[in-house]
Amino acid sequence: MEIKIPEERIGVLVGPGGSMKNLIEEKTKTELDIDSETGTVTVVSAEDPLLAMRVMDLVRAIGRGFSPERALAILDDEMLMLDVLDLSKMVATKNDMARMKGRIIGKDGRTREIMERLSGSKVSVYGKTVSLLGYPDQIRIARSAIEMLLDGAPHGSVYSFLEKKHQEMAKEELQGGDIL
């Protein structure tokens, strides 16, 4: 299985002295073959093809701007998902791209931070993409908030939406806890 990541993210995937690459290989019993000139990463797994797919998601997450520490969570919980939105399909010009990324990140990263806190998912804005890491419900909520921002909704409306969804998720968790 093969995936291409930006060349400037190869160093992050490899880590100092190869430490991250070695950690991933040891933890997953796979082999990462990394071509630093093209950005191509091949995942070789003799044992578990499903695990190899999780490693592909991990590599993709690092390639999309997540820190290795955040991305490694993919290996610990098979319910975690990576969702990548390609902004280049939604904007016409470089200026539009910069404006949209700015709306998602917010002043001093505040909007992204609020989105992460209230949705429970992790958000990475990198290159022409916005990537989400979380459980399906968390990703659905964060993706809706991002789409609202891209459609021009005021930040206050998006925060209200996120707050409402956060309270709904908390309520569901409490109700789910009573059943057990």
Amino acid 31: pLDDT:
93
The reported pLDDT for the residue numbered 61 is 97
Quote the pLDDT of residue 180.
Answer: 41
CA 50 to chain centre: 19
Residue 178 confidence (pLDDT): 52
What mean pLDDT comes out for the span 163-170?
A: 94
Alpha-carbon 86 to chain mean position: 12
Torsion sign, CA atoms 11, 15, 19, 23: negative
**pLDDT at residue 50, rounded to an integer:** 85
pLDDT per position as a tens digit, 38-93: 999 999 987 788 888 999 999 999 999 999 999 999 999 989 999 999 999 888 89
Q: Locate CATH 3.30.1370.10 in the chain.
A: 2-76, 81-179
Rounded to an integer, what distance in angstroms lies between the CA atom of residue 115 and that of residue 142?
6
How many Cβ atoms from other residues are within 10 Å of residue 8's Cβ?
11
The architecture in CATH of the region 81-179 reads 2-Layer Sandwich (3.30)
Q: What is the mean pLDDT of residues 12-25?
A: 95
What sign for the dihedral angle of Cα 12, 146, 144, 177? positive
What is the predicted pLDDT for the residue at 1?
A: 85
Q: Which residue has the tokens 């459609």?
A: 151
Q: Which amino acid is at 151?
A: D
pTM listed for this prediction: 0.90
Average pLDDT over residues 142-165: 96
In this predicted structure, the answer to whether residue 150 has a pLDDT above a threshold of 50 is yes
CATH topology of domain 2-76: Ribosomal Protein S8; Chain: A, domain 1 (3.30.1370)
Nearest to 57 by CA among 149, 175, 70, 155: 70
CA distance 32 to 49: 14
132, 122 Cβ separation under 8 angstroms: yes
pLDDT of residue 92: 85
Return the percentage of the chain with pLDDT > 90, whole number: 82
Average pLDDT, the chain: 93
Cβ partners under 8 Å of residue 73, min gap 6: 80, 133
